[in-house]
Chains A and B, each alone.
Chain A
Amino acid sequence: GAVVSQHPSRVICKSGTSVKIECRSLDFQATTMFWYRQFPKQSLMLMATSNEGSKATYEQGVEKDKFLINHASLTLSTLTVTSAHPEDSSFYICSASDRGPADTQYFGPGTRLTVL
């Protein structure tokens, strides 16, 4: 089956630093990847849609200059949280679609970000 990995699984950083999270589709090519954020005991919130070779589409209220998304290849998308602050602490999950935007999405295991 389709496998999506995320790295790192857990990261702790100081306030003001930047953190990069990688999302990889291991056995399929993902033309579209999605980045979600999950606050404790809440559902997932879509942050942005990442299409290979083009700029990401951000959801309303998500700061594109703070959450930089790059989708340089069909198997890799990265999310960089710039100048992280404690309120950015969250669980970040990516997903990848294997045959186009409306097909089944496979989720990565998530990255727990803690900003001190």
Chain B
Amino acid sequence: AQSVTQLDSHVSVSEGTPVLLRCNYSSSYSPSLFWYVQHPNKGLQLLLKYTSAATLVKGINGFEAEFKKSETSFHLTKPSAHMSDAAEYFCVETGGSQGNLIFGKGTKLSVKP
């Protein structure tokens, strides 16, 4: 069965330092991959998506992710964290016959002043 693994349940960084949120997928074929962000008690917002075009994907709010097939990874990065980046981040893959999403367990990002 397909699965998405987010390697860290919680990441804490200082404001202005780089952010790295790790994600590994399991599909053997070229998947569609997404990163979503969820602020407390809010719905999800799409940060970026990979659909087999460029391997380096740029998203909103300065985030980007690189698709590495050899490592089955799709890590999310940002050069400089802002306080407003504190949220839960989900790495997601499309799967199933109807294209439903397979979610990682999420990574909570804390940003210290």
Chain A positions near chain B (C-beta within 8 angstroms): 6, 32, 34, 42-44, 46, 49, 51, 57, 91, 93, 95, 97, 100-110, 112
Contacts and interface: CB of A to CB of B under 8 A. Distances in A.
A104 B101 contact: no
A57 B98 contact: yes
Interface residues of B, number: 20
Tell me whether chain B's interface is mostly helix, strand or loop, or mixed: strand
A78 B63 CA distance: 34
Given A109-B43, A112-B41, A104 B34 contact: yes
Which one of A6, A43, A104 has the highest number of Cβ atoms from chain B below 10 Å of its Cβ? Answer: A43
A58 to B, nearest CB: 12
B45 interface: yes
B103 A34 contact: no
Contacts of B41: 91, 110, 112
A100 B103 CA distance: 19
Given A97-B99, A101-B99, A107 B106 contact: no
